[in-house]
Amino acid sequence: MFLYGKNSVLERLQINPQTIRKIFLQTNFKEMNIAQIIKSKKIAVNTVTPKELMRIKNSSPLQGIVAEIEDFVYADFYELLDKPADKRLTLIFLDRISDPQNLGAIIRIAACFGGIGVVIPKHEACAVNDTVLHVASGGENFVPVAMVTNITNALNEAKKTGYWVVGAVVEDGENIYNSILPVPLALVLGSEGYGIRQGIQKHLDSKFRIPMQGADLSFNVTSACSIFCYEINRQLK
């Protein structure tokens, strides 16, 4: 796998440098603080031309730096459930989120608020790839991401350990601002355009919506995730 962009590589250097195999720097790379950290971590460096860097990772913006890293390691779902009561995470279950930009942004949001784990399905959804890591901007270093074969089964396993399963919906849900969210909480977010599958909705303990007084539109999944995470964080304090 490859990390690209200054922020993504810098966070990995600071948090998980042991996962970096090699770094490619463009000949005119001028971020001396990053170069010094690379040197201090004793990571192999190849200096390459802009064209050579683009051949290594054909994406944009590379910002003059690409890191070859170990494959992403998913968290063990059952280990997330087995945490002691005072260290339990809020879990965000994603139903059919196929856009890597959305998955990366959700991981970044979860990292910013803290105390959150992300659960994704193995099928009909985006896995953690290079684009996800780039958009996450280092958030993957702080957020456990588990991959499960079946979201419904995983939700039921979470329930067995005491989690309350709630879904984010556009209509027919309780106003999130007038509600007390149960803990420990498992929040299900559905795909844009389709929402949460009916088969999964049957397993929800509650449904919540974000009240909107403006245009007859809806938030995209990353915006909704931000608002829900803010309210969860506010209520937990």
Q: What is the mean pLDDT of each run of 10 residues along the chain (237 residues)?
A: 96 97 95 95 97 95 96 98 95 96 98 98 96 97 98 98 96 93 96 89 96 81 96 93
pTM: 0.95
In this structure, the chain runs to a length of 237
Query: Rounded CA gap, 200 and 121, in Å?
Result: 12
pLDDT at residue 62, rounded to an integer: 95
| 77-236 fold | Alpha/beta knot (3.40.1280)
DSSP state of 195: B
According to DSSP, the residues that pair with 45 across neighbouring strands are 23
Type of residue at 144: P
Type of residue at 140: E
Q: What is the distance of C-alpha 227 from the center of its chain?
A: 15
Pure H helices in 16-116: 32-40, 50-56, 77-81, 100-113
Give phi and psi for 60, each to the nearest 5. Answer: -150, 140
pLDDT at residue 208, rounded to an integer: 97
Helix or strand holding residue 226 (H, E)? helix 221-236
Using CA atoms, how far residue 107 sits from 29, 78, 144, 187, 222, in Å, is 28, 19, 9, 14, 10
CATH for the 2-69 domain, from 2.60.40.1930, 3.20.20.30, 3.40.50.300, 3.30.1330.30: 3.30.1330.30
Return contacts of 172-176, CB within 8 angstroms, 24+ apart: 172/207, 172/209, 173/206, 173/207, 173/208, 173/209, 174/206, 174/207, 174/208, 174/209, 175/208, 175/209, 175/211, 176/208, 176/209, 176/210, 176/211, 176/227, 176/228, 176/231
> What residues does each domain of the chain span?
2-69, 77-236
pLDDT at residue 216, rounded to an integer: 67
Query: Rounded CA gap, 114 and 76, in Å?
Result: 18
Using CA atoms, how far residue 160 sits from 124, 147, 157, 196, in Å, is 25, 19, 5, 21
Query: Rounded CA gap, 217 and 5, in Å?
Result: 33
pLDDT at residue 48, rounded to an integer: 97
pLDDT at residue 215, rounded to an integer: 77
